[in-house]
Chains A and B, each alone.
Chain A
Amino acid sequence: MTVDFRTEPAKYKHWKVSFDGPVATLAMDVREDGGLRPGYELKLNSYDLGVDIELYDAIQRLRFEHPEVGAVVLTSGKERIFCAGANIRMLNQSSHGWKVNFCKFTNETRNAIEEATAESRQSYLCAVNGPSAGGGYEMALATDWIILADDGSTTVALPEVPLPAVLPGTGGLTRLVDKRKVRRDRADFFSTLEEGIKGQRAVEWRLVDEVVPRSKLEETVKRRAAEHAARSDRPTGARGIALTPLARAIEGDRITYGTITCAVDRGRAVAEITVKGPGAPPPATLEATHAAGADFWPLALARELDDLILHLRANEEEIGIWVFRTEGSADLVEAHDRALQEHAADWLVREIRLYLKRTFKRLDVSSRSIFTLVEPGSCFAGTLLELALAADRSYMLDGALEGDTRKPAAVRLTGMNFGPYPMVNGLTRLASRSLDEPARADDLKRRIGVDLDAPAAAAAGLVTFTPDDIDWEDEVRVGIEARAAFSPDALTGMEASLRFGGPETLESKIFSRLSAWQNWIFQRPNAVGDKGALRVYGTGRRSEFDRRRV
């Protein structure tokens, strides 16, 4: 079964979106029989990938289609439950790879909620109107203000350790101590409580921001949302742009979008991805950019690349190497980058820049080897140069292949390489490549707009290898073949460890520590062995643990 990440509100099964001026409400009302795959029922507002795909879509649309919305209330559309978290039976019947990929996507969506609050200025609040456990509370943790109904039964809980013997792996543990600054001993106690914490103590322990009687919940949420919305800089009178259905054709092993094509080579376990640069200069004015909407090249690029990454991750597990190429005019890419810089203050342009940032981050945290090939006819400039900077390895042809009369390959920096696209470690990709000499990244600003040929690009630290026409084909072939032969697990661990040098952030901790621990626990017999807690969950049998500490 192919998982399709493309959806739209008319197709939602699990979420209801409503609007009241500058405040939107996202109400979770999961359809029990609406699971993405057979074999489990989504009881008690528990979720699977399908539920989260809709949430992700809704968040994207709120950003692009609703400039007037300054605050979003996340709540439950059910009466007695907020959200019971990820569906345990779904996890239990899923392969390890599926679980990990599911958690990665949900993590990215939670991060996007925080980014929307901080940078899109669309503040997320959470009205916890019933018990919230595990992933349910983690969803609340991603918002900026948590309001808890004080009715004696509404609780927040992270019962993963005592119940299925796994972790609150969607950022829960990290956000407790790093974001909400819950004291570590209290966080420890809280994370061992099946039944969670309610009422005043939840506020005292910083687990939520306020508790209100149930009868006051609606009114309080309304007031708080209005306060948050009032602090937003989003325009009140502007019109949103429509995120029109994303055109994609899958024919055999070939996936085609407007600006991206991807050829899956199963024999070599390689996805050959070619990104086409813009075919025309950017619209002359900001108004025209708005009018172009989803057809504006940078936005089209972000949407297509986003969808392709998600598609390959979920549906092409065995394709372990993604090889990126570009085709087109570096001048036109640079012209679009200038438009993105010039109108950075515009709400729509800001959204497009943020979307590109998130999409490149998605690339960084994908468990695939990323190679980039810089050849004549390519357009690795600015925004597209990020594909080379994100690569685990890049090859740039020095000169031209015999018989090719095109100009030799060049790469080009633009202002977009110096800040708008930080990685999860908070640094730009350029800075992440210059940890030995941090000033070098800044020095490169002087080379903005200049075509750098292979020797220059190598000297600037922008590419890995620069074979000439004699070695090119062999070097590239051998590099990919050797990569394909290594253990996928070892590669994933190695790449994830090397990609994010430098400082840690909340996000990097979630991806590199919490997720890594979770993925280890997901493999261990104490969770998934015959008597492991995750395996026996829901059968009424007791788990039996291997008591040795590892």
Chain B
Amino acid sequence: MAGIDYTALIPNNVSLHENRRLQRALEDWQPKFLEWWRDMGPDGFQAKEVYLRTATSVDAQGWAKFGYTRMPDYRWGIFLAEPEPGRQVNFGDHKGQPAWQEVPGEYRGTLRRLIVTQGDTEPASVEQQRHLGRTCPSLYDLRNIFQVNVEEGRHLWAMVYLLDAHFGRDGREESEALLQRRSGDADKPRILGAFNEKTPDWLSFFMFFFVTDRDGKYQLASLAESGFDPLSQTCRFMLTEEAHHMFVGETGIMRIVQRACELMRERKTDDLRKHGGIDLRTIQRYQNFHCSVSLDLFGSEISTNAANFYTTGLKGRFEETKKQDDHLLKEAAYTVAELDGERIVTREAGALVSLNERLRDDYIADCARGVARWNEVIKQHGIDFELRLPHRAFHRAIGMFADVRVSPDGQVVSQAEWDAKHGNWLPTEEDKAYIESLMQPVTEPGKFANWIAPPARGINGQPVDFEYVRLA
């Protein structure tokens, strides 16, 4: 199972050659995917050689191999994590039954929708970032964005594999529709709001991979618990790649923070705009924006859908099998935040209907760990400033806080106060114009834009000044 067949038209570890029907479906989809990649993939770099890693097997040892590849030649394919022998449905009403190898008819529609919603985010983020290559702060970062992009492409393949293998004609239609929707298009928008927003600059890009893509990690982790085994296996492998994406986001911001601190020390000022840096308050405002948009992705605090997904064994909690409880949650309670007039309070709600909020809590805790690492950098420079995650109720468009104005520290404020202060809390037009002015390409090996520090080390043991992308 672990070995990947790279001799096939579509690299895979699922013995695709034994399933003619599926092979035909995927071979029919492959050219359409490549056409989409050419139209909507990274703009201007399709012919360049990029130092990319490619999966060679799905086990922990040596699953990646590095080498120069033109992105359209990247070997996208189908990789599933190793099956777990005797795996069972681990939660909900079907708990204890053997995990499903085929889609249960009763849940076909729901599962398909879950997979399509997840799958839709993958090409969406490639589309959102397609122009960023032209303003890269270094070859190192340029290579990283392309690595992330090709892997998002592979995650799309993973979801399409599930749709084509298990959902018949409807599944194949959905596979095509995944290539037809376009991020930000008024007529064919991507499904989730955050994936129709622009990613106009690299600060936004790093933030996206620190917070927004982390939502993807938590969604995938919940789906990896699914009683539908092929979905579980697929998501488990995707999570190994997801870790790198988080790394790109977190270290990207960390390097910007580091550079800000260096400039503050050198220039003895926290007004870095004269000196071409990104000050910590601007970083905080960008973080506030991206966090709030990403918190929305988890959905309403109280959700029947989430409860149904759980009870029916389709989508579990984060680290479901590590939790010590009955995995049914019928009588259990969970604490959720709630608006009580002008105050934000907590109350006990049914655990089943609170699963979105629970996942959001896990996610917030994870984000907080990353922010703490950035604050270490600030502290090491002897600067008295702390970056903070905004309150969960801040700037929300979905859920019970959508209709109120809340400050980043969690106080309900009047519209007038919001109007007066939101410029301190969210990126202003001036911020955006300034950040845009910084977006000048730096493509000489080993050189970095002034607003970002070099990374501590290169990729795959290569030096930082390695030619990660051959532009010549």
**Residues in A lying within 8 Å of B, measured CB to CB:** 150-153, 162, 193-195, 213-216, 537-542
Q: Say which residue of A152, A539, A542 sits within 8 Å of B353 (CB atoms).
A: A539
Q: What distance in Å separates the Cβ of A67 from its nearest Cβ neighbour in chain B?
A: 37
* Beta-carbon contact of B181 and A152 below 8 Å: yes
B110 at the interface (CB under 8 A from A): yes
User: Within residues 297 to 350 of chain B, which ones have a CB less than 8 A from any CB in chain A?
Assistant: 304, 306-308, 310-312, 329-330, 350
- Expressed in whole angstroms, the Cα–Cα distance for A214 and B188 within the complex equals 8
Contact A542:B312 (CB < 8 A) given known A214-B187, A537-B304: yes
- Expressed in whole angstroms, the Cα–Cα distance for A194 and B181 within the complex equals 22
* Beta-carbon contact of B350 and A539 below 8 Å: yes
Q: What distance in Å separates the Cβ of A231 from its nearest Cβ neighbour in chain B?
A: 29
Residues 110-127 of chain B, each 1 if its beta carbon lies under 8 Å from chain A, else 0: 101100000000000000
* Beta-carbon contact of A195 and B304 below 8 Å: no
- Expressed in whole angstroms, the Cα–Cα distance for A194 and B187 within the complex equals 24
* Beta-carbon contact of A541 and B188 below 8 Å: no
Name the B residues within 8 Å of A193 (CB-CB). Answer: 109
**Residues in B lying within 8 Å of A, measured CB to CB:** 93, 109-110, 112-113, 177, 180-181, 186-189, 191, 304, 306-308, 310-312, 329-330, 350, 352-353
* Beta-carbon contact of A539 and B109 below 8 Å: no
* Beta-carbon contact of B189 and A540 below 8 Å: no
Task: With CB as the reference atom, state the residue of chain A lying closest to B177.
Answer: A152
- Expressed in whole angstroms, the Cα–Cα distance for A195 and B187 within the complex equals 20
- Expressed in whole angstroms, the Cα–Cα distance for A463 and B304 within the complex equals 56
Contact A542:B311 (CB < 8 A) given known A152-B180, A215-B187: yes
Name the A residues within 8 Å of B113 (CB-CB). Answer: 195
Task: With CB as the reference atom, state the residue of chain A lying closest to B180.
Answer: A152
- Expressed in whole angstroms, the Cα–Cα distance for A215 and B182 within the complex equals 14
A sample of 18 inter-chain contacts (CB < 8 A) reads: A151-B187, A152-B188, A152-B189, A195-B113, A213-B186, A213-B187, A213-B188, A215-B187, A216-B187, A539-B352, A540-B307, A540-B308, A540-B311, A540-B329, A540-B353, A541-B93, A541-B330, A542-B311
Name the A residues within 8 Å of B304 (CB-CB). Answer: 537-540
Q: What distance in Å separates the Cβ of A123 from its nearest Cβ neighbour in chain B?
A: 27
Further contacts, 19 of them, CB under 8 A, given A538-B353, A540-B306, A540-B311: A150-B187, A152-B177, A152-B188, A152-B189, A153-B189, A153-B191, A162-B109, A194-B109, A194-B110, A195-B109, A195-B113, A214-B186, A537-B304, A540-B307, A540-B310, A541-B311, A541-B352, A542-B311, A542-B312
Q: What distance in Å separates the Cβ of A33 from its nearest Cβ neighbour in chain B?
A: 10
Q: Say which residue of B110, B186, B188, B352 sits within 8 Å of A540 (CB atoms).
A: B352
Task: With CB as the reference atom, state the residue of chain A lying closest to B312.
Answer: A542
Name the B residues within 8 Å of A539 (CB-CB). Answer: 304, 307, 350, 352-353
* Beta-carbon contact of B191 and A152 below 8 Å: yes
Task: With CB as the reference atom, state the residue of chain A lying closest to B304.
Answer: A538
Name the B residues within 8 Å of A540 (CB-CB). Answer: 304, 306-308, 310-311, 329, 350, 352-353
- Main SS of the interface on chain A? loop
Q: What distance in Å separates the Cβ of A28 from its nearest Cβ neighbour in chain B?
A: 18
Name the A residues within 8 Å of B330 (CB-CB). Answer: 541
- Expressed in whole angstroms, the Cα–Cα distance for A153 and B308 within the complex equals 21
- Expressed in whole angstroms, the Cα–Cα distance for A546 and B353 within the complex equals 26
Q: Which 3 pairs from chain A and chain B are nearest by CB?
A: A540-B307, A540-B352, A213-B187
Most buried by B among A150, A195, A216: A195
- Expressed in whole angstroms, the Cα–Cα distance for A537 and B191 within the complex equals 25
Most buried by B among A150, A152, A162, A195: A152
Name the A residues within 8 Å of B93 (CB-CB). Answer: 541-542
Name the B residues within 8 Å of A542 (CB-CB). Answer: 93, 311-312
Name the B residues within 8 Å of A152 (CB-CB). Answer: 177, 180-181, 188-189, 191
- Expressed in whole angstroms, the Cα–Cα distance for A540 and B314 within the complex equals 12
Q: What distance in Å separates the Cβ of B287 from its nearest Cβ neighbour in chain A?
A: 26
- Expressed in whole angstroms, the Cα–Cα distance for A200 and B413 within the complex equals 46
Name the B residues within 8 Å of A195 (CB-CB). Answer: 109, 112-113
Name the A residues within 8 Å of B109 (CB-CB). Answer: 162, 193-195
Task: With CB as the reference atom, state the residue of chain A lying closest to B353.
Answer: A540
Name the A residues within 8 Å of B188 (CB-CB). Answer: 151-152, 213
Task: With CB as the reference atom, state the residue of chain B lying closest to A201.
Answer: B173
Contact A215:B186 (CB < 8 A) given known A152-B191, A195-B113, A538-B304: yes
Q: What distance in Å separates the Cβ of B96 from its nearest Cβ neighbour in chain A?
A: 15
Task: With CB as the reference atom, state the residue of chain B lying closest to A198.
Answer: B177
- Expressed in whole angstroms, the Cα–Cα distance for A356 and B226 within the complex equals 59
Task: With CB as the reference atom, state the residue of chain B lying closest to A199.
Answer: B177
Name the A residues within 8 Å of B307 (CB-CB). Answer: 538-541
Q: What distance in Å separates the Cβ of B16 from its nearest Cβ neighbour in chain A?
A: 29
Name the A residues within 8 Å of B312 (CB-CB). Answer: 542
Q: What distance in Å separates the Cβ of A520 from its nearest Cβ neighbour in chain B?
A: 24
Name the B residues within 8 Å of A162 (CB-CB). Answer: 109
- Expressed in whole angstroms, the Cα–Cα distance for A152 and B188 within the complex equals 6
- Expressed in whole angstroms, the Cα–Cα distance for A162 and B308 within the complex equals 13
- Expressed in whole angstroms, the Cα–Cα distance for A540 and B310 within the complex equals 8
Name the B residues within 8 Å of A194 (CB-CB). Answer: 109-110
Task: With CB as the reference atom, state the residue of chain A lying closest to B108.
Answer: A194
Name the A residues within 8 Å of B308 (CB-CB). Answer: 540
- Expressed in whole angstroms, the Cα–Cα distance for A192 and B188 within the complex equals 26
Task: With CB as the reference atom, state the residue of chain B lying closest to A194.
Answer: B109
Q: What distance in Å separates the Cβ of B382 from its nearest Cβ neighbour in chain A?
A: 48
Q: What distance in Å separates the Cβ of A148 from its nearest Cβ neighbour in chain B?
A: 13
Q: What distance in Å separates the Cβ of B262 from its nearest Cβ neighbour in chain A?
A: 45
- Expressed in whole angstroms, the Cα–Cα distance for A539 and B312 within the complex equals 12
Q: What distance in Å separates the Cβ of A149 from its nearest Cβ neighbour in chain B?
A: 8
Q: What distance in Å separates the Cβ of B171 from its nearest Cβ neighbour in chain A?
A: 13
Name the A residues within 8 Å of B110 (CB-CB). Answer: 194
Q: What distance in Å separates the Cβ of B270 from its nearest Cβ neighbour in chain A?
A: 40
- Expressed in whole angstroms, the Cα–Cα distance for A541 and B312 within the complex equals 8
Q: What distance in Å separates the Cβ of B347 from its nearest Cβ neighbour in chain A?
A: 16
Name the A residues within 8 Å of B187 (CB-CB). Answer: 150-151, 213-216
- Expressed in whole angstroms, the Cα–Cα distance for A508 and B304 within the complex equals 36
Task: With CB as the reference atom, state the residue of chain A lying closest to B94.
Answer: A542
Q: What distance in Å separates the Cβ of B144 from its nearest Cβ neighbour in chain A?
A: 31
Name the B residues within 8 Å of A215 (CB-CB). Answer: 186-187
Task: With CB as the reference atom, state the residue of chain A lying closest to B306.
Answer: A540
Name the A residues within 8 Å of B350 (CB-CB). Answer: 539-540
Task: With CB as the reference atom, state the residue of chain B lying closest to A214.
Answer: B187
Task: With CB as the reference atom, state the residue of chain B lying closest to A215.
Answer: B186
Q: What distance in Å separates the Cβ of A71 from its nearest Cβ neighbour in chain B?
A: 25
- Expressed in whole angstroms, the Cα–Cα distance for A441 and B350 within the complex equals 64
Name the A residues within 8 Å of B310 (CB-CB). Answer: 540
- Expressed in whole angstroms, the Cα–Cα distance for A150 and B310 within the complex equals 31
- Expressed in whole angstroms, the Cα–Cα distance for A538 and B352 within the complex equals 10
- Expressed in whole angstroms, the Cα–Cα distance for A162 and B311 within the complex equals 16
- Expressed in whole angstroms, the Cα–Cα distance for A214 and B187 within the complex equals 5
Q: What distance in Å separates the Cβ of A532 from its nearest Cβ neighbour in chain B?
A: 15
Q: What distance in Å separates the Cβ of B315 from its nearest Cβ neighbour in chain A?
A: 12
Q: What distance in Å separates the Cβ of B106 from its nearest Cβ neighbour in chain A?
A: 9
- Expressed in whole angstroms, the Cα–Cα distance for A304 and B186 within the complex equals 48
- Expressed in whole angstroms, the Cα–Cα distance for A540 and B109 within the complex equals 17
- Expressed in whole angstroms, the Cα–Cα distance for A537 and B305 within the complex equals 10
- Expressed in whole angstroms, the Cα–Cα distance for A398 and B207 within the complex equals 90
- Expressed in whole angstroms, the Cα–Cα distance for A537 and B353 within the complex equals 11
- Expressed in whole angstroms, the Cα–Cα distance for A162 and B353 within the complex equals 20
Q: What distance in Å separates the Cβ of B142 from its nearest Cβ neighbour in chain A?
A: 32
Q: What distance in Å separates the Cβ of A377 from its nearest Cβ neighbour in chain B?
A: 60
- Expressed in whole angstroms, the Cα–Cα distance for A542 and B328 within the complex equals 11
Q: What distance in Å separates the Cβ of A86 from its nearest Cβ neighbour in chain B?
A: 15
Task: With CB as the reference atom, state the residue of chain B lying closest to A149.
Answer: B187
Q: What distance in Å separates the Cβ of A202 from its nearest Cβ neighbour in chain B?
A: 13
Name the A residues within 8 Å of B329 (CB-CB). Answer: 540
Name the B residues within 8 Å of A216 (CB-CB). Answer: 187
- Expressed in whole angstroms, the Cα–Cα distance for A526 and B188 within the complex equals 39
Name the B residues within 8 Å of A538 (CB-CB). Answer: 304, 307, 353
Task: With CB as the reference atom, state the residue of chain B lying closest to A43.
Answer: B300
- Expressed in whole angstroms, the Cα–Cα distance for A542 and B352 within the complex equals 12
- Expressed in whole angstroms, the Cα–Cα distance for A194 and B312 within the complex equals 15
- Expressed in whole angstroms, the Cα–Cα distance for A215 and B311 within the complex equals 39
